[in-house]
């Protein structure tokens, strides 16, 4: 049996992208300048304060479509319970590793020692606090044991000739999977608005920490590709257009 | 600890619907008759052979939009590995039971004795054959044991005050969940075309048996609501418009 | 030639619906109560203050999916320039009268005498003021004449045996068309947030008056079907979840 | 008044793209190889016969999602009656020139002399034949006259200080507009399957010639970017996955 591996992180890598603030500007200017925009688009162009103003205006007035003419493909590794939440976002393209087509590798998520473990507050406004040392140890021990037992059961079924799609059903939600996900900036802003924490906002959100870890890494990448758009998103309270 | 339950089925119940063949007909006739259709729509109307012809024509020429002006809400109970595939279909609305907001009940899927267990053939054309008695017993034993061990770990963490969203990560993919799913006939046909078996077709599909069980039950309901549309779908090789 | 008709209104009629606040509540409670919700859903149920609180919470925290399990089909008559804007909303189903399949009727939109005609202010914050009597008369005269000339050209081409799909290209954007449009409450809220005027809001919008007339009529109908949802939408600044 | 221009063509220019057959292959291989695919994706890679086989298999079994991880942005100039059909395709991103934000230029579509003008056959199976010389001349004359009259009315209203959004309502459907449109290969295949002629097919389609002219130009571009995907689409009867 392959050796079982435990991790506490998620990884996000940019595979390919065609995304820049100037794509937003050119798309927006089709509305106002029509056929003159193409030439400008092909000439290349540096952002000016007028550009910043236009992007801020689009964000504030919720003109969302100019933020769609771009594309970012990420390769994400995370436990299945994160992917379950991720794939509820329908304005993205997904291809995930399949337990029907391949034997899954024994890599499991275990919360890191600084992951908050205790939930307080009422539904819709939960807060999470650090666990005691006993709780932290318990979570680690139970997670390691349950993952190991499940993987051994999976392996015994495979060894006996049982189909992968059947054997996998005993695997737990903390097993890692990987996927290609492609989004545009508008759909990414929607994702970020819901999957990063916004306490005290007019429209608060309370994501599970592990999907927020993915969201933060995607945001870091996106911010370098489209700094003006990111800045406008931030300044308008992180409400997606 | 609550008693652990094992099941081998999925359930599909129609919660609410506004779906009939006449909705398709009226929507299609807006194209050709404009304002005269509304009165007819409100009068009620029995399907005629001319209606059947129109629906067949829409299906054949892939005029899909008339099949969208209707709605069916189902309540589905199935294991999580089924929901994982289900929610890849983006043209539907979902609300699923949440392991963050409630303690999950110990109900687990175990393959029935007549579930095929052995996979043969090459990728893209897998076939599944019955397991030996030994394989069948092994699958049952491993599934029962792994589910029980996982649920006990979950319970111990909850008992120690660990947050539900953390404790649940050890639960396996065969635990049952439930959801509301709302679709229209066009999106349902797309789902059925991909999640029911079509061997030997020009566009074959090879769904995992458990999601096909859901699809079959949904199709049974839909067929009684929209018989002419179902008949046309069937006669055109089950390719969605 | 048929007599030419001029109108200054739009019409919106509810053809069919399956939409109530209780659908929102049941969908939301699947998350927290799982299998216990179905029975309640089938029993029927009157909204309570606890229900109002739940709907407000969903709206505030932008839990949008519970607002999707419902359906409203409208029959809309409006000029083509309104439908051009309408159909940019992609989360709806459309079937429109086709100028390829039928001869179009000579019904044209002409602005009413109280339609504001003069635009002031800068891009992104236009305001509209009443026209002078001369402007009002000019708009009416030009619109009537141009519509009549265009329809006569259309008619002469049809009379000469030219295909409808070719002859129609000379018809103006103010000719009326009709369509079936099906939406759910979430997609309707998105439409309303963008197509009704919200000056002075954090996220202002400046729709053209004629599509706003459609939006207002749809909102009137929706408000009677889902009063609690409408109230929550209103109280949260008309930002769609 | 600016000089009125008449054209009989449409233009399609590729503004930006991130689209290649290898994107399809890597996305598909995530399913079967998981984490090993990323390295290969970043190494670059030439298509082999094994690659061709995989793409054909994906197309045949309607595994559509691997065809979504790419992006093409086109700048299209065409008359409004073409854009009306185009924007019914909801799986694309659009930004069109706005008659509210700018004064429209007097460029109008007039059918070329070899455009078929006479429709024969029954609904759902129309065929189009050449017009007589008289019909051809009539179409040209009526189109030129109606376009000119409409644009003059538009201009008179603007000159009198009427808002652009009001004055434009008299403009005809054959006036040119321009847009940015962004699609991925899957959504483009869907568009092509419905907007290029497929007589005698199991699923025939009968698009209006002018949108087919757009579709053909988009297909030419796409074919050079993703030759294996195009070949597979073609060989499977042009039914989109």
Cβ within 8 Å, pair C204-A123: no
Residue A194: which of C60, C62, C204 has the nearest Cβ?
Answer: C62
DSSP state of D103: P
Q: What average pLDDT does chain C have?
A: 92
Q: Tens of pLDDT along A36-72?
A: 655 555 555 556 778 999 999 999 989 999 999 999 9
A30 vs D65: CB contact, 8 Å cut-off?
Answer: no
Spell out which residues of chain B touch residue D205, defining contact as CB-CB under 8 Å: 61-62
Q: Which residues of D touch A (CB under 8 A)?
A: 13, 15-18, 23, 26-28, 30-35, 37-38, 41-42, 65-66, 68-71, 73, 75, 77, 93-98, 101-102, 105, 177-180, 182, 184
Task: Tell me the mean pLDDT in the region A145-171.
Answer: 98
What is d(CA B87, CA A232) in angstroms, rounded to the nearest whole number?
32
Tell me the average pLDDT of chain A. 92
The pLDDT-based confidence of C2 (bands split at 50, 70, 90) is confident
User: Is B45 annotated to bind ligand?
Assistant: no
Evaluate whether C146 touches D153 at the Cβ level (below 8 Å): yes
Q: D235, exposed or middle or buried, with CB in 10 Å at 0-12, 13-18, 19+?
A: exposed
Which residues of chain D lie closer than 8 angstroms to B62, CB-CB?
193-194, 203, 205
Contacts of B193 in chain D (CB under 8 A): 62
Whether the CA torsion C203, C205, C211, C217 is positive or negative: it is: positive
Residue B200 falls in which region: left (phi positive, over 0), alpha (psi -120 to 50) or beta: left
Asked whether residue D100 is domain-assigned, the answer is yes
**A4, A142, A154, A176: best mutation site toward chain B, by most B Cβ within 10 Å?**
A142
Q: What is the predicted ipTM?
A: 0.93
User: Residue C219 falls within a domain, yes or no?
Assistant: yes
Most C CBs within 10 Å, among B5, B13, B14, B16, to test the C interface: B16
Catalytic residue among B105, B195, B198, B238: B195
d(CA D89, CA B186): 15
Q: State residue B43 phi and psi, 5-degree precision.
A: -75, -20
Residue contact B168–A171, C-beta within 8 A: no
- Per-residue pLDDT tens, chain B, 241 aa: give them: 789 999 999 999 999 999 999 999 999 999 877 656 555 555 555 567 789 999 999 999 899 999 999 999 999 999 999 999 999 999 999 999 999 999 999 999 999 999 999 999 887 778 899 999 999 999 999 999 999 999 999 999 999 999 999 999 999 999 999 999 999 999 999 999 999 987 777 788 889 999 999 999 999 999 999 999 999 999 988 989 9
Are residues A145 and B153 in contact, defined by beta-carbon separation less than 8 angstroms? yes
Closest CA to A173 of B170, B147, D31: B170
Cα-based angle D113, D116, D120 (whole degrees, multiple of 5): 155
Are the CB atoms for C197 and C207 separated by under 8 Å? yes
The rounded distance, in Å, linking the Cα atoms of A156 and D34 is 22
Domain of C48, in residue numbers: 5-109+176-235
Q: What are the helix (H) ranges across C62-208?
A: 80-86, 133-159, 164-167, 185-195
Could D239 and B237 be called an inter-chain contact, meaning their C-beta atoms sit closer than 8 Å? no
Q: What band does D210 get if pLDDT is binned at 50, 70 and 90?
A: very high
> Higher confidence at residue D143 or residue D204?
D143
- DSSP β-bridge partners for residue B109: B7
User: Is residue D68 assigned to a domain?
Assistant: yes
In a domain, B133, yes or no: no
User: What is the rounded CA–CA span in Å between residue C153 and residue C146?
Assistant: 11
In this structure, what is the dihedral angle of CA atoms A205, A208, A211, A214, given to the nearest 10 degrees? 80
- What is the SS3 assignment for D112? coil
**Residues of B with Cβ-Cβ distance to A80 under 8 angstroms:** 84, 173
Look at A204 and A91; give whichever has higher pLDDT.
A91
| Residue A79 in domain | yes
**DSSP designation for D176:** E
Report yes or no: C46 and D134 within 8 Å, Cβ to Cβ: no
What is the separation of C-alpha A194 from the centre of its chain, rounded to a whole number of angstroms?
10
Q: How far is D235 from chain A (nearest CA, A)?
A: 24
Count of beta carbons in the 10 Å neighbourhood of residue A132: 12
B63 Cα to chain A: minimum distance (Å): 23
- If one counts every other C-beta atom within 10 angstroms of the C-beta of residue A164, the result is 18
Mean pLDDT of chain B: 92
Structural domain contains residue C76:
yes
Q: How far apart are CA A189 and CA A239, in angstroms?
A: 8
Distance from CA of A198 to the nearest CA of C (A): 10
Where helices occur in A34-174 by DSSP H, the ranges are 36-43, 49-60, 80-86, 133-159, 164-167
Identify the CATH number of the domain in which residue C78 sits.
3.30.1360.170
- The number of residues in chain A equals 241
Q: Is the pLDDT of residue A91 over 60?
A: yes
**How near does any CA of chain B get to the CA of D161, in Å?**
36
Over 80: is that where the pLDDT of D40 sits?
no
CA distance B169 to D24: 32
Residue D42 has a pLDDT of 53
A&C contacts, CB < 8 Å: 38
Most B CBs within 10 Å, among A111, A153, A191, A213, to test the B interface: A153
Distances (CA, A) of D185 to B240, C92, C117, C145, D218: 19, 23, 44, 46, 11
Answer yes or no: C105 catalytic: no
For residue B86, say whether it is annotated as part of any ligand binding site.
Answer: yes
Distance CA D143, CA A166 (A): 66
Contact D27 A65 (CB under 8 A): no
Domain assignment of residue A15, yes or no: yes
Task: Determine the average pLDDT of the residues in A174-198.
Answer: 96
For A240, list phi and psi in degrees, rounded to 5.
-65, 145
What's the full length of chain D, in residues?
241
pLDDT tens digit sequence for C139-171: 999 999 999 999 999 999 999 999 999 999 999
Q: Over range A207-220, report the average pLDDT.
A: 97
Q: Which residues pair with C95 in a beta bridge?
A: C180
Per-residue model confidence as pLDDT tens digits over C65-107: 999 999 999 999 999 999 999 999 999 999 999 999 899 999 9
- Is B115 annotated for ligand binding? no
Pick among D62, D89, D205 to test the B interface (most B CBs inside 10 A) = D62
In a 3-state reduction of DSSP, which class is residue B178?
A: strand
Tens of pLDDT, residues B41-72: 555 555 677 899 999 999 998 999 999 999 99
How far is Cα D124 from Cα B57, in angstroms, rounded to an integer? 7
Does residue A79 carry a pLDDT above 60? yes
The 3-state secondary structure of B53-111, one letter per residue = HHHHHHHHCCCCHHHHCCEEEEEEEEEHHHHHHHCCCCCCEEEECCCCCCCCCCEEECC
Residue A154, in any domain of the structure: no
Query: Quick one: pLDDT band at residue C118, thresholds 50, 70, 90?
Result: very high
Would you call D81 and C123 a contact, using CB atoms and an 8 Å cutoff? no
Residue A115 CB neighbours (<10 A)? 18
What residues pair up with C74 in beta bridges, in sequence order?
A: C14, C181
Q: Is the pLDDT of residue D174 over 90?
A: yes
% residues pLDDT > 70 (chain D): 94
Q: Which chains touch C (3 or more CB pairs under 8 A)?
A: A, B, D
Residue A93 to residues A226, B28, B90, C6, D64, Cα–Cα distance (Å): 20, 31, 10, 47, 10
Interchain contact, A57 vs C206, CB within 8 Å: no
Interchain pair C98, B31: CB under 8 A: yes
* Angle made by CA atoms A121, A126, A128, in degrees to the nearest 5: 95
Please tell me the distance from the alpha carbon of residue D67 to that of residue D79, in angstroms, as a whole number.
30
Is the distance from CB of C80 to CB of D170 less than 8 angstroms?
Answer: no
Q: Are C188 and C133 in contact (CB under 8 A)?
A: no
SS3 A143: helix
| pLDDT score of A213 | 98
* Whether C27 and B69 lie within 8 Å, measured CB to CB: no
How many Cα atoms sit within 13 Å of C206 on the Cβ side? Answer: 19
pLDDT 10s digits, A3-26: 999 999 999 999 999 999 999 999
Distance from the D105 Cα atom to the nearest Cα atom in chain A, whole angstroms: 9
Q: Tens of pLDDT along D99-141?
A: 999 999 999 999 999 999 999 988 777 889 999 999 999 999 9
Residue-wise pLDDT tens digits, B10-19: 999 999 999 9
Residue among B123, B162, B172 minimizing CB distance to A172: B172
Number of domains in chain A: 1
pLDDT tens digit sequence for C22-68: 999 999 999 877 656 555 555 555 567 789 999 999 999 899 999 99
CA dist A111 and B43 (Å) reads: 62
């Amino acid at each position: 049996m392959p050796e079982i591996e435990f991790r506490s992180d998620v990884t996000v890598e940019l595979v390919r992208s065609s995304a820049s603030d100037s794509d937003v500007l050119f798309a927006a200017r089709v509305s106002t300048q029509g056929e003159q925009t193409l030439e400008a688009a092909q000439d290349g162009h540096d952002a000016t304060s007028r550009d910043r103003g236009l992007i801020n205006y689009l964000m504030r007035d919720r003109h969302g479509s100019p933020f769609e003419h771009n594309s970012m493909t990420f390769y994400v590794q995370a436990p299945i319970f994160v992917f379950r939440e991720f794939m509820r976002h329908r304005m993205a393209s997904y291809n995930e590793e399949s337990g029907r087509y391949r034997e899954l590798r024994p890599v499991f998520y275990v919360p890191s020692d600084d992951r908050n473990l205790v939930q307080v507050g009422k539904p819709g406004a939960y807060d999470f606090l650090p666990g005691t040392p006993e709780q932290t140890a318990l979570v680690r021990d139970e997670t390691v044991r349950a993952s190991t037992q499940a993987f051994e059961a999976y392996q015994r079924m495979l060894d006996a000739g049982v189909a992968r799609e059947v054997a996998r059903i005993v695997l737990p939600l903390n097993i890692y999977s990987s996927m290609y996900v492609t989004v545009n900036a508008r759909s990414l802003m929607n994702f970020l608005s819901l999957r990063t924490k916004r306490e005290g906002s007019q429209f608060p959100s309370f994501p599970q920490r592990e999907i927020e870890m993915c969201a933060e890494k995607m945001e870091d990448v996106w911010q370098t590709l489209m700094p003006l758009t990111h800045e406008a998103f931030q300044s308008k309270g992180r409400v997606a257009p």
